[in-house]
Amino acid sequence: MTEVAKSPSTANGLSTVENASNPTIEADQTRLATTPREVPVPARRSARLMHLGRLAGGIAGGVMAEGIRRVAKGRLPSAGDLLLTPGNVARLADRLSEMRGAAMKVGQLISMEAGEFLPPELTTVLAKLRDHAHTMPLGQVGEVLRGAWGQDWPERFERFSFQPLAAASIGQVHEAVLKDGRRLAVKVQYPGVRQSIDSDVDNVASLLSWSKALPAKADLAPLLEEAKRQLHLEADYQQEAASLEAYAARLDGDATFTLPTVETSLTTSEVLAMSYVDGMPVEKLADHDQALRNRVATHLLRLSIREFLDWGLVQTDPNFANFRYDAHTGRIGLLDFGATRVYPNERVALFRNLLQSVLVGDRSKLEEYAAHAGYLSLSDTPEYRAAMQELLMDASLPVRHAGRYDFGTSDLASRMSEKLMALRFDQRVWRLPPPDILFLHRKLGGLYMLCARLRAQVDVGSLLAPYTET
């Protein structure tokens, strides 16, 4: 296996490594000029801290250069102007992307949960972290696989592709074929990620605060603590395997969806091996006929309702890449269960009551349940409480709409974002709801955006009717 960790000679950008049993081990050595690119993951805590230190130094250097430039032009810049230059924002995003792990994940979470309160330059760049992660070099992938499977791991495979299918904040996915011909998707965790979660989260939060990237009155402590807890779960691939199997058990017999099955013999805390799920990225259905787009969107929305209101088991990562469509079978593939959350029965019952109060327009009950859920507090002004009720009513518009709701022509997302910004700034309140609500918002908001991408028309009210009828 030692030779796999080296950089073999290449021909046309593609090289092969042969082991004693002669499986073909592919390694794409092509270096792309654009991001994402192949960058080693800093595995030691000291190396990760050094990356952040270099980032802070780079930002400070950018501040000095920008200050000199503006003074030379006769302008007296503010500290915020100097810190949040395009160059400094780009430095921040690129360094977090190089570090991956919790450092990158915190940037993702903050951009998703608090993006409307950040400077637009920072929001745009942080948003790119959701979809663009650098990949590990061949040598680091080999190190992780040797640690998980032993030196002779290539003997188990007919083929293992070192060119990743996808790369994210915690790990990257590779395609492989076993000796018996079964096709696998193998998720390989970046080295050092699990051990550096807490320090990464704390250090990145401090850096964002120091660089004035966050509002002065922003209290992200609950979100950051929840991010640590969630990341520790996501970085345990055996836990993800258990979540996948629990989810599959609830869908047993449902021919609408396809889930990967776990290859237990090859799964460890840092490597997750699963059956390969065929299909095209679901957002590519945007060019297909209306009936198909409506059907797929309806299935996904119905599934999300079942997740929360039936099972209390929610896959909270709505990344479009987690949904595939197989045109041959008409089935929808579901991927990535690392961010699966369990919601207790009493929490589910509370949200059912909240939803019911919205549908019947009972403002008194709506305020009561919103307070219990964590949207409101005793210190909120009457104006803030009334405005929050209006936001919840707006959010439920697809449910309250009679017949099919046209996601493709709706501007609901932008209108809600504008109202929320005005509410927080006008009322001088900058408070996020409890983390379990934020992760639920993340799932529902992502599905809304997917339905909008598909220009789907769905009768959402009829999907929820069984849960709201008294």
Kindly list the catalytic residues: 317
DSSP SS3 for 274? strand
- Cα distance between residue 299 and residue 463, in whole Å: 10
Q: Are 106 and 227 in contact (CB under 8 A)?
A: yes
Q: What are phi and psi of 260, to 5 degrees?
A: -70, 155
Three-point CA angle 230, 342, 325, nearest 5°: 85
User: Measured between alpha carbons, how far is residue 453 from residues 81, 152, 293, 408, 448 in Å?
Assistant: 35, 45, 10, 7, 9
Q: Are 431 and 101 in contact (CB under 8 A)?
A: no
Q: Are 394 and 358 in contact (CB under 8 A)?
A: no
- Cα distance between residue 382 and residue 366, in whole Å: 14
CA atoms 414, 419, 425, 428: torsion sign: negative
User: Measured between alpha carbons, how far is residue 79 from residues 76, 87, 118, 154 in Å?
Assistant: 10, 15, 16, 55
Q: Are 323 and 450 in contact (CB under 8 A)?
A: yes
Q: What are phi and psi of 380, to 5 degrees?
A: -70, 145
